[in-house]
């Protein structure tokens, strides 16, 4: 099956990589990565995989399947367009917005499947299959891979635990303008190494300010790497806000602290004050939200079996057996215009 991995943003690389690895290992599928160089300057696998930055080349390739960890894909490309999501942030309204670009939604777990099947009944132009999320495959393969790096850092910095601060980039939801002094106090009063890992779309002024903080504080380390999951595996606790990384971390059965998270239902410690020392003691040392984390694991994504990518390919193959390969996606003029404006036109 000719397959396109539609990589528009840097964070999508690690989401799509398990699909690429599965195709290579099995030899069943031919894969072409689309890399949007407006957002991705250095593609780390450029020497290892077949890729292009041209939408025209994607069209000429005539894909049978396109995996999309985003909200939009050019309607005029052939192939089954399958949404694989870029996280678990159900509290963000756009997570549930149906933009009509996609033929399939490959959901992470029962919580998401139920809602998207209801939406499928309403719109009647896409299918829903529960597969799990691809990063779970990467996690399954790398659960112990970074233990040596974790142990090295603990020894080098003479710390007991590692805390990851991974805020959202959204200006209206981010904790970045508020939490800096509290992070400093936490590091100075608790025996921890603090990792700063920001979303690629974070405002540059915050990136520069927190990079400078890492230079000033010996137990704060700036991380410049596209793969946030690597540092989730290393860390003992995460601090965040309204970011989808919260759920990813909970699925590792580790405690989380958020600052003013907007989710209606919270399965972790959320605070509206800035006493991170007190919050750390409750979340990490007392671990008061262990039962709530288990609910997230069971309902958001229980598929830590290393077979998510396989299920995704099978789901698309089954769709093609029933419906064939779509040559394009029927859309209204406004959606077509948005698609062309963002990705340009092609010659047929």
Residue 301 burial by CB count (10 A; 0-12/13-18/19+): exposed, middle or buried? buried
Per-residue pLDDT, 194: 98
Range in 212-216, 222-226, 324-328 with the lowest mean pLDDT: 222-226
Q: Which tens digits make up the pLDDT trace of 32-86?
A: 999 999 999 889 999 999 999 999 999 999 999 999 998 899 999 999 999 999 8
Residues 283 and 226 in one domain: yes
Is residue 139, in this structure, part of any structural domain at all?
A: no
Residues 151 and 82 in one domain: no
Q: Which domain holds residue 104?
A: 2-133+301-343
CATH of the domain at 199: 3.40.50.12580
Residue 30 burial by CB count (10 A; 0-12/13-18/19+): exposed, middle or buried? middle
Terminus-to-terminus CA distance in the chain, angstroms? 21
| 8-state DSSP, 36 | -
pLDDT band at 93 (very low <50, low <70, confident <90, very high): low
Distance CA 297, CA 278 (A): 26
Q: Is the pLDDT of residue 154 over 90?
A: yes
DSSP 200-232: TTS-HHHHHHHHHHHHH-TTEEEE--S-HHHHH
CATH of the domain at 44: 3.40.50
What is the count of structural domains for the chain? 2
Q: Are 344 and 54 in contact (CB under 8 A)?
A: no
Q: Is the pLDDT of residue 281 over 90?
A: yes
Residues 151 and 94 in one domain: no
Report the share of the chain in percent with pLDDT over 90: 84
Residues 295 and 308 in one domain: no
Is residue 348, in this structure, part of any structural domain at all?
A: no
Residues 338 and 265 in one domain: no
Is residue 32, in this structure, part of any structural domain at all?
A: yes
Distance CA 283, CA 97 (A): 33
Residues 316 and 207 in one domain: no
pLDDT band at 91 (very low <50, low <70, confident <90, very high): low
Per-residue pLDDT, 95: 72
Per-residue pLDDT, 315: 98
Residues 288 and 329 in one domain: no
Per-residue pLDDT, 88: 83
Q: Which tens digits make up the pLDDT trace of 319-338?
A: 999 999 999 898 889 999 99
Is residue 309, in this structure, part of any structural domain at all?
A: yes
Neighbour count for residue 289 (Cβ, 10 Å): 21
Residues 148 and 294 in one domain: yes
Residues 11 and 120 in one domain: yes
Residues 196 and 66 in one domain: no
Q: Which tens digits make up the pLDDT trace of 230-255?
A: 999 999 999 999 988 899 999 999 99
Residues 222 and 232 in one domain: yes
Q: Is 116 helix (H, G, I), strand (E, B) or coil?
A: helix
Residues 20 and 81 in one domain: yes
Which phi and psi angles does 124 have, rounded to 5°? 60, 30
139, 228, 7, 303: CA torsion to nearest 10: 30
Is residue 231, in this structure, part of any structural domain at all?
A: yes
Is residue 243, in this structure, part of any structural domain at all?
A: yes
Q: Helix (H) and strand (E) counts for the chain?
A: 13, 13
Q: Which tens digits make up the pLDDT trace of 179-195?
A: 999 999 999 999 999 99
Question: Among candidates 305, 240, 320, 267, which has minimal Cα distance to 111?
Answer: 267
Is residue 294, in this structure, part of any structural domain at all?
A: yes
Per-residue pLDDT, 198: 94
């Amino acid at each position: 099956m000719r397959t396109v991995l539609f990589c528009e943003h840097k964070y999508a690389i690690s989401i799509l990589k398990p699909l690429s690895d599965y195709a290579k290992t099995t030899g069943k599928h031919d894969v072409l990565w689309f890399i949007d160089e407006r957002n991705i300057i250095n593609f780390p696998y450029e020497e290892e995989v077949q890729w292009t930055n041209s939408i025209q080349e994607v069209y000429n390739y005539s894909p049978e399947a396109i995996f999309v960890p985003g909200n939009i894909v050019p309607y005029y490309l052939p192939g089954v367009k399958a949404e694989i999501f870029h996280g678990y942030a159900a509290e963000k309204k756009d997570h549930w917005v149906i933009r009509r670009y996609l033929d399939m939604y490959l959901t992470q777990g029962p919580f998401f499947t139920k809602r998207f099947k209801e939406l499928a009944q309403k719109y009647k132009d896409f299918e829903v299959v529960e597969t799990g999320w691809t990063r779970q495959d990467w996690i399954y393969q790398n659960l112990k891979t970074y233990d040596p790096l974790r142990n090295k850092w603990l020894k080098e910095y003479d710390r007991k635990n590692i805390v990851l601060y991974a805020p959202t980039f959204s200006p209206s939801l981010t904790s970045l303008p508020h939490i800096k002094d509290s992070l400093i106090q936490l590091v100075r009063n608790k025996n921890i190494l603090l990792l700063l890992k920001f979303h690629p779309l974070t405002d540059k002024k915050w990136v520069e300010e927190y990079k400078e903080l890492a230079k000033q504080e010996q137990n704060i380390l700036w991380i410049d790497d596209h793969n946030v999951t690597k540092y989730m595996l290393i860390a003992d606790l995460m601090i965040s806000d309204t970011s989808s990384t919260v759920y990813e971390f909970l699925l590792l059965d580790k405690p989380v602290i958020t600052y003013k998270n907007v989710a209606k239902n919270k399965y972790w410690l959320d605070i509206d004050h800035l006493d991170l020392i007190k919050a750390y003691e409750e979340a990490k040392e007392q671990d008061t939200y262990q039962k709530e984390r288990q609910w997230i694991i069971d309902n958001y994504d229980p598929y830590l079996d290393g077979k998510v990518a396989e299920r995704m390919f099978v789901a698309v193959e089954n769709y093609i057996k029933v419906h064939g390969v779509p040559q394009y996606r029927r859309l209204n003029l406004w959606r077509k215009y948005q698609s062309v404006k963002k990705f340009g036109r092609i010659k047929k």
